[in-house]
Amino acid sequence: MTTRDDRGRSIDQAQDALHQAMRGGDVSHLRELLYEGLAFELPGESVVGRAADLDAHASGATRFDKLSELHRSTLEHDGHGRTSSLVDIVVFDRGHRIEARMSYRRFWSIIEGRWQVVAGSAEPFA
């Protein structure tokens, strides 16, 4: 059975909303979807938190021109879950254009009545 948050969203619908917010640089929606204590591991083993991620989107330092999900697997139970997805991206990161196929893993929990990303990672798909 699919767990829904107070807004009626499944974990997959929350992930879709996250991708849409990333594509649009929508900091308001990203703020709703990212847990305050977020720890997200980037390629090269650096870890960013929610504030740094939101700042990067708000300032334009990070801007997605393309984010196309090719595959997703989802596991969830009782308000907690994981999404793993394969994504083609074109992102501008501090002025550098990056085009890559990435593997994203996100861990979600329903917090304050809504699905939020609590941790995750992104790495190039080999």
78-122 pLDDT, tens per residue? 999 999 999 999 999 989 999 999 999 999 999 999 999 999 999
Nearest to 46 by CA among 115, 84, 93: 93
Q: In this structure, are strands 114-124 and 96-111 parallel, antiparallel, or unpaired?
A: antiparallel
Domain membership of residue 4 (yes or no) is no
Q: What is the CATH number of the domain that holds 83?
A: 3.10.450.50
Q: What is the pTM of this model?
A: 0.95
Domain membership of residue 5 (yes or no) is no
Domain membership of residue 2 (yes or no) is no
Task: Locate 14 and state its tokens.
Answer: 């929350």
Domain membership of residue 6 (yes or no) is no
Task: Locate 74 and state its tokens.
Answer: 């989802």
Domain membership of residue 18 (yes or no) is yes
Domain membership of residue 117 (yes or no) is yes
DSSP states of 16-84 as a string? HHHHHHHHHT-HHHHHHHEEEEEEEEPTTS-EEEHHHHHHHHHHTSEEEEEEEEEEEEEEEETTEEEEE
Task: Locate 43 and state its tokens.
Answer: 């390629």
Structural domains counted in the chain: 1
Asked if 121 contacts 104 with a C-beta cutoff of 8 angstroms, the reply is yes
Is residue 1 scored above 90 in pLDDT?
Answer: no
Is residue 63 scored above 80 in pLDDT?
Answer: yes
Structural domain range at position 87: 11-124
Domain membership of residue 36 (yes or no) is yes
